[in-house]
Structure formats: structure tokens, C-alpha cells
């Protein structure tokens, strides 16, 4: 049995070595995808096009505007003189955010009254708008604190009756700088690996069926189980190599820290790859041509990506849709890889996700093998 499996393994690796295009697809696209996702996938917004209408034209209003320009988050692209210009800037997509400071702004501040500030946001891009509004709140809060300090010096405050104050200090754990890259890169590793392994497994077996060599192999002394092992083990090893390659790229190029145990990472990656192999093998049993395999692969991988929690929080999804995430192996692997990379936790914490991956891998591989036997009959 082991001799026949060894022959199958040699056959697969020889085919890969002879197919230069396949070798190119196995290596070159991975760092390119890492670069694209690593730089493009981010929730940080810079240089938001901003229009300003300063109807107060005072030192206080100009100081507030300078706070927006100094952060680098907002670019003042238009200084309006009337309200219609603000409307035109938003309608023509020249500006995403508009800041309107009404007359009497400085006077209200000097009298200790509430000085209203109008912020107009283009809501067509809700993600950018919400992030920009968050930046606005931070800048206004900082400006308010500075104005309070100027209006009530420390000597006056200490001479007055002491007041109870609550100070909120943010101390993020595991990602002190709140770097988006540290969150996205581990997710990219899982997504790229899933796409690569599922595609390789599905296309390889379908190609054997399409060119007619599958029937020739099955009339040989090799058994179906040995054929499946010989077909999937090389892709399992390739998947481990892919995980290692893109992980090293993320650590060395993007500076994502790896503080966990490599053995825990290996265990989680192995279980995830077995589940991905089961998916690929299942696709191969449902496809007769490579075109069908491509269509099914596209139909399957996209929902797995969306329902994994990579970019969209699972808790924000409808409850009925959240149930589908429980059969998504990418969901559990993202938890494992992010926890190992950034938190350094072990099996004692990750065992529920590892158990879920084990059950999914066993179920998918078992179903795929049964379907494969049926398709051969």
C-alpha cells in the first residue's frame, strides 16, 4: 500500500516540476497578493477631501480648522464663502466632508456656552464617512480640552473647590498602535491558503478525469483510498509551504509580530488544510470539467471569505446568517492564527476552535471520499 502511495506522490511532484506554469502559480502570486492585501486592506483613512465654510472668521475658528489640517487625516480642498458652495462641493464629489463654523463661534466659547459645529458627510461611502466622523470627534475633543485649559488655568482650578473628574485612558492590548496591518495580514494568510489549496485539489482531480487518465489509474492495482491519499498529500504539503511562505512574508515585510508557539500554529494550519482539502475533493466529485470546477470554486470561496469575519464582523450579521459561519473552516482558522500571532495563546485557550476544525475536516473528508467512490461507480 505504502509503495503505491509513494508512486502516486512521485507522479504528482514530477508533474508539478514539469509544469512550469503550475510552479509559477504556486509561488509568485502569493507574495503579490500579500502586498496588495497588506497595503490595500485597511480601515485607516488619510487625506479625506474636506471643504470648509468659516462664517465666524475668528482666531478660535481658524485654530479649529488648523487642527483638522495638521492631523493629516483631512485635506482642505475647498474654502467656501457661502452655503451653496458647500452643497456643490459635496454633490460634485469634490469633498467628502464639509465643516461649517457659524458666526458667533468664538463668542460662545468665550462666554462658556456651547459653540455648535456643523459637519456634513457624504454618506454614499458609509465606511469612510463613519471613520471620518470618528476622527472629527477626536479632533474636536482635543480642541475642547485645549480651550478649557486656556480658559481655566491650573492656578485657578487648584484655588477653586476641587471637583471630581474621571479620566479615560485607552490602553489597547496585543496591538498597542492599533495597526490595521496586524489585523489583516493573518487573515490574508488564511484566505490565500484556502483559495490555493481548494483550487489545486479540485482542478487536479478534474483534470485527470477530463483527459481520461483517471480511468486508466483506477483499472490499475491502486485502490481508491490510495489514489485519494496520493492526490491530496502533495497538496497538503504544498499548503503547509504556502502558510510558511506567506507567514514569513508578513513577518519580515510588514513587521507583524509572531509571539506564539509555532507548534500550535502548525496544528491549526494542518487541521485547516485538511478541511480545505475536503472542500476541494468535494468540488472535484461535483465537477466533470475544469470550467465547472472553476465556477463551483468561485461560488464557494467567496461566501466563505465573506462569512469568515475577515473584513465584516460576524456579530453584525443577521442571526440566521451567523449560523452558516459555524460550518466555515476559515472562521475558526482566523481566530487561531490571529491569537497565535498577536496574543501567543496556546491549545488551552484555542481548543474550541481546534475541535471545530477537526470535526469539519473529518466531516468534509469523509463526505468527499464517499462522494468520490460514488462518482467512480
State the CATH number of the domain containing residue 56: 3.40.1710.10
Residues 12 and 150 occupy one common structural domain: no
Comparison of pLDDT for 4 and 289, the residue scoring more: 289
Residue 165, pLDDT > 60, answer no
Last residue of a domain, one of 128, 159, 190: 159
Residues 267 and 121 occupy one common structural domain: no
Closest CA to 341 of 165, 156, 190: 190
Residue 46 pLDDT:
81
Residues 115 and 238 occupy one common structural domain: no
Residue 355 lies in a domain: yes
Q: Please give the sequence-ordered ranges of beta strands (E in DSSP) within the chain, or none if there are none.
A: 48-54, 74-80, 97-101, 117-121
Separation CA 294–CA 301 (nearest Å): 11
Separation CA 284–CA 278 (nearest Å): 10
Confidence of residue 22 (pLDDT cuts 50, 70, 90): low
Q: Which of 80-94, 110-124, 146-160, 190-204 has the highest mean pLDDT?
A: 80-94
Structural domain including 196 reads 2-41+177-376
Confidence of residue 310 (pLDDT cuts 50, 70, 90): confident
Separation CA 180–CA 44 (nearest Å): 7
Separation CA 124–CA 238 (nearest Å): 43
What average pLDDT does the structure give for the chain? 82
Residues 125-141, mean pLDDT to the nearest whole number: 84
Residues 359 and 340 occupy one common structural domain: yes
Residue 157 pLDDT:
47
Residues 231 and 281 occupy one common structural domain: yes
Q: Which of 19-33, 162-176, 227-241, 329-343 has the highest mean pLDDT?
A: 329-343
Paired with 119 in beta bridges are 99
Residue 170 lies in a domain: no
Q: Which of 33-47, 145-159, 221-235 has the lowest mean pLDDT?
A: 145-159
Residue 189, pLDDT > 80, answer yes
Tell me if 234 sits within 8 A of 13, measured CB to CB: yes
Tell me if 48 sits within 8 A of 35, measured CB to CB: no
Residue 134 pLDDT:
86
Q: What is the reported pTM?
A: 0.78
Residues 111 and 214 occupy one common structural domain: no
Amino acid at each position: 500500500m505504502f509503495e503505491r502511495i509513494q508512486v502516486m506522490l512521485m507522479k504528482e511532484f514530477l508533474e508539478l516540476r514539469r509544469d512550469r506554469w503550475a510552479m509559477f502559480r504556486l509561488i509568485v502570486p502569493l507574495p503579490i497578493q500579500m502586498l496588495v492585501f497588506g497595503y490595500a486592506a485597511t480601515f485607516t483613512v488619510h487625506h479625506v477631501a474636506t471643504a470648509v465654510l468659516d462664517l465666524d472668521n475668528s482666531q478660535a475658528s481658524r485654530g479649529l480648522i488648523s487642527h483638522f489640517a495638521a492631523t493629516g487625516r483631512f485635506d482642505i480642498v475647498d474654502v467656501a464663502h457661502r452655503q451653496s458652495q458647500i452643497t456643490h462641493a459635496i454633490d460634485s464629489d469634490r469633498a467628502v466632508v464639509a465643516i461649517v463654523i457659524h458666526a458667533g463661534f468664538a463668542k460662545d466659547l468665550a462666554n462658556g456656552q456651547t459653540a455648535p459645529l456643523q459637519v456634513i458627510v457624504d454618506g454614499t461611502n458609509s465606511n469612510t464617512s463613519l471613520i471620518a466622523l470618528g476622527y472629527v470627534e477626536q479632533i474636536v475633543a482635543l480642541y475642547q480640552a485645549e480651550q478649557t485649559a486656556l480658559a481655566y488655568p491650573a492656578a485657578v482650578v487648584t484655588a477653586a473647590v476641587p471637583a471630581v473628574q474621571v479620566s479615560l485612558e485607552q490602553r489597547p492590548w496585543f496591538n498597542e498602535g492599533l495597526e490595521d496591518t496586524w489585523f489583516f495580514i493573518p487573515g490574508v494568510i488564511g484566505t490565500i491558503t484556502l483559495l490555493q489549496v481548494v483550487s489545486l485539489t479540485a482542478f487536479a482531480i478534474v483534470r485527470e478525469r477530463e483527459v481520461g487518465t483517471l480511468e486508466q489509474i483506477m483499472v490499475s492495482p491502486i485502490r481508491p483510498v490510495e489514489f485519494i491519499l496520493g492526490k491530496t498529500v502533495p497538496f497538503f504539503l504544498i499548503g503547509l509551504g504556502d502558510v510558511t511562505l506567506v507567514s514569513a512574508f508578513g513577518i519580515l515585510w510588514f513587521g507583524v509580530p509572531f509571539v506564539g508557539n509555532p507548534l500550535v500554529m502548525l496544528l491549526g494550519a494542518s487541521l485547516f488544510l485538511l478541511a480545505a482539502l475536503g472542500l476541494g475533493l468535494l468540488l472535484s466529485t461535483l465537477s466533470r470539467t475544469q470550467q465547472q470546477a472553476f465556477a463551483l470554486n468561485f461560488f464557494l470561496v467567496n461566501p466563505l471569505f465573506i462569512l469568515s469575519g475577515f473584513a465584516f464582523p460576524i456579530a453584525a450579521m443577521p442571526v440566521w446568517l451567523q449560523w452558516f459561519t459555524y460550518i466555515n473552516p476559515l472562521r475558526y482558522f482566523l481566530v487561531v492564527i490571529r491569537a497565535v500571532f498577536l496574543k501567543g495563546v496556546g491549545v488551552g485557550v484555542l481548543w474550541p476552535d481546534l475541535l471545530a476544525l477537526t470535526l469539519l475536516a473529518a466531516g468534509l473528508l469523509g463526505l468527499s471520499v464517499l462522494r468520490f467512490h460514488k462518482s467512480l461507480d
